[in-house]
Amino acid sequence: MDDILIIGSGPAGYTAAIYAARAGRSTKIITGPQPGGQLIKMSLLENYSGFSDPISGLALMDQMKQQAEKMGVIIVSDIIKSVDFSKSPFRCTGELNTTYESKTLIIATGANAKWLGIPGEDKYLGAGVSACAVCDGFFFRNKNVAVVGGGNTAVEEAMYLTNFAQSVVLVHRGDKLRAEQIMQKRLEKNPKVEIMWNTRVVNIFGDGNKVTELLLTSTRNNMEIRKAIDGVFVAIGHQPATSIFEGQLEVDENGYIVTNKANSATSIPGIFAAGDVCNPNYRQAIVSAGQGCVAALDADRFLSGERQEYSQQCKEQNYLR
């Protein structure tokens, strides 16, 4: 049995692991389906403090992994499929039926890309439909691609795709972007980029093997437009990876784990949460890393016998992200 079991290996998970092991706790991290988390798809990070030159998401996560290993963290490549939080020790069972027992748990499972749910999206997933420009952009050298969304993710994806594609059309249902001003300016200056405002993608067509065309409608007058395209990148936000905790742990109406105002405690004493799985507002690697640190300190204090204090705090303060 471990002192601290961490589910998820993004910046929240690894930072929690580094702090937990450094506090002398036996610590195991279960990597989940995408070791390194969402960040491994980020080409270059310019805003993770401590790096004067941009660092790739992959390189940053590799550094975190190595640091955790040096601290004595056991890193297990497995995907948790079911959990039993009804009693302590908590039990988490992986894909190959391995059961992991732990005195405390830190959930850092992150969030996954949302999809449009329109015809053609599933059919052409991996054949022109993607949610990751860094993963798939290379296949669209000199092609024409679309990006759907108006947030930071969409703008980043569009900018990244200009490195390969001949043209990039950003399709946004609204008339202004949510993305940061600095990113919007960069996008608008890029000659390869066109923005289609007030427009929705309603159908993705292909030739049976790959995407060839989009059907778009205007959100203003429902006018339909067909656009020849080789690829479409969906960048419309994320949903938290919490389905395995359903019915066992308190989550909000969007499925995000509810944590205590003052710390990372969840509705079950001894279980803590960090990163995008409990925080939809920031989605920043550095924020997740900070929250991972908080969760590890909380778990360590809990193990040191401050259980009563935590339970009391949870009662006194409404759960609030």
C-beta nearest to ligand NDP: residue: 151
CA atoms within 13 A on the CB side of 30: 28
Distance of alpha carbon 235 from alpha carbon 158, whole angstroms? 9
Please, are residues 42 and 283 in contact by the beta-carbon 8 Å criterion?
no
CA angle 125, 128, 129 (to 5 degrees): 45
- Please give the structure tokens belonging to residue 274: 């960090």
Where does this chain bind ligand NDP (CB under 6 A)? 116, 148-154, 156, 173-174, 178, 236-238, 282-283
Rg, the chain, Cα only:
21
Minimal distance in Å, beta carbon 161 to ligand NDP?
15
Q: Is 278 a catalytic residue?
A: no
Minimal distance in Å, beta carbon 142 to ligand NDP?
26
Minimal distance in Å, beta carbon 36 to ligand NDP?
16
CB of 85 or CB of 233, closer to ligand NDP: 233
Please, are residues 217 and 173 in contact by the beta-carbon 8 Å criterion?
no
The residue written with tokens 């550095």 in the block is 286
Minimal distance in Å, beta carbon 133 to ligand NDP?
12
Q: Is 132 a catalytic residue?
A: yes
Q: Is 135 a catalytic residue?
A: yes
Please, are residues 99 and 84 in contact by the beta-carbon 8 Å criterion?
no
Minimal distance in Å, beta carbon 202 to ligand NDP?
10
Given 136, 230, 276, 300, the catalytic residue: 136
Distance of alpha carbon 184 from alpha carbon 204, whole angstroms? 26
Amino acid at 37: G
User: In sequence order, what DSSP letters do the residues of 110-150 get, joined into one string?
Assistant: -EEE-----TTTTTTBTTTEES-HHHHGGGGTT-EEEEE-S
- Please give the structure tokens belonging to residue 248: 């066992």
CB of 130 or CB of 153, closer to ligand NDP: 153
- Please give the structure tokens belonging to residue 123: 């059919």
CB of 149 or CB of 292, closer to ligand NDP: 149
User: Catalytic site residues?
Assistant: 132, 135-136
